[in-house]
């Protein structure tokens, strides 16, 4: 597929400017005018439409097919959230308006929406307050661990260690070290955080432990069963608990992490609350805190005055400062609000129930095809499996692509051998799940019969197997347009 530049023909245009329209020269100061025309593609409207339509068809999306990419929650996002976020009152509002003299008079509706979304997330998670500034989950992690650092600093102490389980998403240790912490790895037992390992780490590092980052259900798709002991052990030494909320889709309306004792949580609204995920964003990673972290949140905060109107509060002397511009990904927050209001508390709980039911159905049906660690336990909204003896997870994934199905996440978490991690989400039907099972079964059976054939997949996609190292080392980012 060629780039749009390759379709360029000198002199061809998509629209004609009226001959009596004032030219750019009349509107701009002479010193700002460019001397050479910009090197833009010259195409007709139809060329442009065909080019981008073809590109979109080469892409893979939830709108076209099943997308069981574990840990990423690639569920179908109903289109009404797009409609709500695109209302003119929202998209025509410049973020600087609220900072002008009298600006909050004309932004009351937007501030009300931010305030309302915060209230709903607090209700759902049991946290005290949320900031919307972080732009994604990983950015929320960095914010959250920075809040933990600020908490200890305010108490006049420097704590160096962040405890992180070995099943954690790679962004956890990355965010902790970016915030200046030294990561201490906790080995899991039976697929869960081991309270004895926590006790040992606390003993070894004494009061140098700042906190623990946990994901629950964890990245193996298992609910952590030792939470109360772990929370108690950390709070006993005034260390804080971070909740990685990427798996929130399993627990909405079921577990309030604030009630479970967590001090700070990020949510990936682009996974759980109505924003499509993938393609590079935008997303949002709101961070919720318990009472003790409240003073350190980024500024400004939306507050409700006595008379019911809304204002921005910048007077937060202990704040960690700005994490992102303005109020975060405003449109994404609006989609989350629309999604939560449409589903209601019951609907959100039901979404989690179906997500968990679908995952357990898939797990059960794949038990005789794949090797399933922890198969005796119910999984949450996703589960891990190993490619059967003699087959590779990569080959199964590539063969699924050939059949028009997106592959599950593979080789994550790192602690599972030849790992495949399907996450069906609540929005998929039984027919879709059955078709996936049939495809995996067929691939495994034919792979057993002729393993070398599996190495050849995919055969009919625009790209087959890439040399990923070479692709990263010798990137070709431009096209020869001579
Ligand atoms: C997706 C994910 C993250 C990172 O979130 P982004 O929004 O992609 O930055 C962190 N932890 C877990 C468990 C995840 O699945």
* Two structure tokens written together for 210: 């700042």
Three-class secondary structure of residue 80 per DSSP: helix
Which atom, in ligand 1's list, is nearest to the CA of 268? 7
The Å distance, Cα 171 to ligand 1 centre, comes to 7
Q: Whose CA is nearest to atom 6 of ligand 1?
A: 137
Locate tokens 């890439």: which residue?
Answer: 466
CA dihedral 261, 266, 269, 271 (to 10 degrees): -90
Specify the higher pLDDT residue, 3 or 440.
440
Count how many Cα atoms sit within 13 Å of the Cα of residue 4 in the half-sphere of its side chain.
Answer: 17
Which candidate, 285, 300, 240, places its Cα nearest to that of 264? 240
* Alpha carbon distance 242, 163 (integer Å): 10
The Å distance, Cα 126 to ligand 1 centre, comes to 21
Q: Is the Cβ atom of 74 under 6 angstroms away from ligand 1?
A: no
pLDDT tens, position by position, 185-242 = 999 999 999 999 999 999 999 899 999 999 999 999 999 999 999 999 999 999 999 9
- pLDDT at position 38 is 87
- pLDDT at position 428 is 97
Three-class secondary structure of residue 176 per DSSP: helix
Q: Is the Cβ atom of 246 under 6 angstroms away from ligand 1?
A: yes
Please report the beta strands in 370-479, taking only residues with DSSP state E, as ranges in sequence order.
385-386, 409-410, 419-421
Ligand 1 mutation target, pool 244, 251, 323, 425, most atoms within 8 A of CB: 244
* Alpha carbon distance 156, 151 (integer Å): 9
Q: Residue 395: which residues within 8 A CB-CB, separation 6 or more?
A: 387, 447, 451, 454, 455, 457
pLDDT tens, position by position, 423-472 = 999 999 999 999 999 999 999 999 999 989 999 999 998 888 988 899 89
pLDDT tens, position by position, 282-318 = 899 999 999 999 999 999 999 999 999 999 999 999 9
Q: Is the Cβ atom of 409 under 6 angstroms away from ligand 1?
A: no
Q: Is the Cβ atom of 283 under 6 angstroms away from ligand 1?
A: yes
DSSP 212-262: EEEESS-TTS---S-HHHHHHHHHHTT-EEEEEETTGGGTTTT--TTTTT-
The Å distance, Cα 170 to ligand 1 centre, comes to 9
Three-class secondary structure of residue 306 per DSSP: coil
User: pLDDT band at residue 279, thresholds of 50, 70 and 90?
Assistant: low
pLDDT tens, position by position, 318-347 = 999 999 888 899 999 999 999 999 999 999
Which atom, in ligand 1's list, is nearest to the CA of 244? 11
- Counting residues of the chain whose pLDDT is more than 90, the rounded percentage is 82
- pLDDT at position 99 is 82
By DSSP bridging, strand 287-289 and strand 264-267 are antiparallel
User: pLDDT band at residue 482, thresholds of 50, 70 and 90?
Assistant: low
The Å distance, Cα 158 to ligand 1 centre, comes to 27
Is the pLDDT assigned to residue 277 strictly greater than 90?
no
pTM: 0.92
Q: Is the Cβ atom of 329 under 6 angstroms away from ligand 1?
A: no
Angle at 228 between CA 161 and CA 187, to 5 degrees: 45
pLDDT tens, position by position, 78-99 = 999 999 999 999 999 998 998 8
Q: Is the Cβ atom of 381 under 6 angstroms away from ligand 1?
A: no
* Alpha carbon distance 57, 18 (integer Å): 35
Provide the b/e sequence for 226-244 (b: ≥16 CB within 10 Å): bbeebbebbeeebbbbbbb
Q: Is the dihedral of CA 322, 327, 329, 333 positive or negative?
A: positive
The Å distance, Cα 7 to ligand 1 centre, comes to 38
- pLDDT at position 1 is 72
- Counting residues of the chain whose pLDDT is more than 70, the rounded percentage is 98
């Amino acid at each position: 597929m060629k780039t749009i530049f390759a379709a360029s023909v000198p002199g061809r245009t998509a629209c004609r400017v009226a001959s009596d329209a004032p030219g750019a020269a009349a509107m701009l100061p002479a010193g700002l005018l460019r001397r050479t025309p910009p090197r833009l593609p010259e195409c007709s409207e139809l060329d442009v439409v065909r080019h981008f339509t073809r590109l979109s068809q080469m892409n893979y999306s939830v709108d076209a097919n099943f997308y069981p990419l574990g840990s990423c929650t690639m569920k179908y996002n109903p289109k009404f959230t797009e409609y709500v976020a695109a209302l003119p009152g929202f998209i025509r509002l410049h973020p600087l308006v609220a900072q002008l003299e009298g600006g909050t008079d004309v932004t009351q509706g937007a501030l009300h929406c931010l305030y309302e979304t915060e209230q709903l997330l607090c209700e759902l998670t049991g946290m005290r307050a949320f900031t919307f500034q972080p732009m994604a989950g990983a950015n929320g992690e960095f914010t959250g661990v920075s809040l933990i650092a600020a908490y200890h600093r305010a108490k006049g102490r420097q704590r160096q260690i962040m405890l992180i389980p070995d099943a954690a998403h790679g962004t956890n240790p990355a965010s902790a070290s970016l915030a200046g912490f030294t990561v201490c790895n906790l080995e899991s037992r039976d697929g869960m955080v081991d309270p004895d390992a926590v006790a040992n780490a606390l003993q070894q590092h004494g009061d140098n432990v700042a906190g623990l980052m946990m994901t629950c259900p964890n990245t193996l798709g298992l609910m952590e069963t030792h939470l109360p002991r772990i929370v108690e052990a950390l709070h006993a030494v005034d260390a804080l608990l971070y909740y990685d909320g990427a798996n929130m889709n399993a627990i909405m309306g079921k577990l309030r992490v604030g009630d479970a004792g967590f001090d700070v949580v990020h949510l990936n609204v682009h996974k759980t609350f109505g924003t499509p995920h993938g393609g590079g964003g935008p997303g949002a990673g709101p961070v919720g805190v318990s009472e003790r972290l409240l003073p350190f949140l980024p500024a400004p905060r939306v507050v409700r005055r006595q008379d019911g109107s809304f204002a921005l509060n910048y007077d937060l002397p202990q704040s960690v400062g700005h994490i992102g511009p303005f109020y975060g990904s405003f449109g994404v927050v609006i989609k989350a609000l629309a999604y939560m209001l449409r589903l209601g508390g019951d609907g959100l709980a039901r979404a989690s129930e179906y997500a968990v039911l679908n995952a357990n159905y898939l797990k059960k049906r794949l038990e005789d095809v794949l090797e399933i660690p922890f198969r005796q336990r119910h999984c949450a909204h996703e589960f891990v499996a190993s490619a059967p003896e003699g087959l590779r997870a990569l080959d199964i994934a590539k063969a699924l692509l050939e059949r028009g199905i997106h592959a599950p996440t593979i080789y994550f978490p790192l602690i599972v051998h030849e790992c495949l991690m399907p996450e069906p989400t609540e929005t998929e039907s039984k027919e879709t799940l059955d078709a996936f099972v049939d495809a995996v079964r067929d691939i495994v059976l034919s792979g057993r019969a002729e393993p070398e054939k599996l190495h050849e997949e995919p055969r009919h996609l625009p790209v087959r197997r890439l040399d990923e190292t070479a692709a990263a080392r010798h990137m070709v980012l431009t096209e020869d347009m001579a």
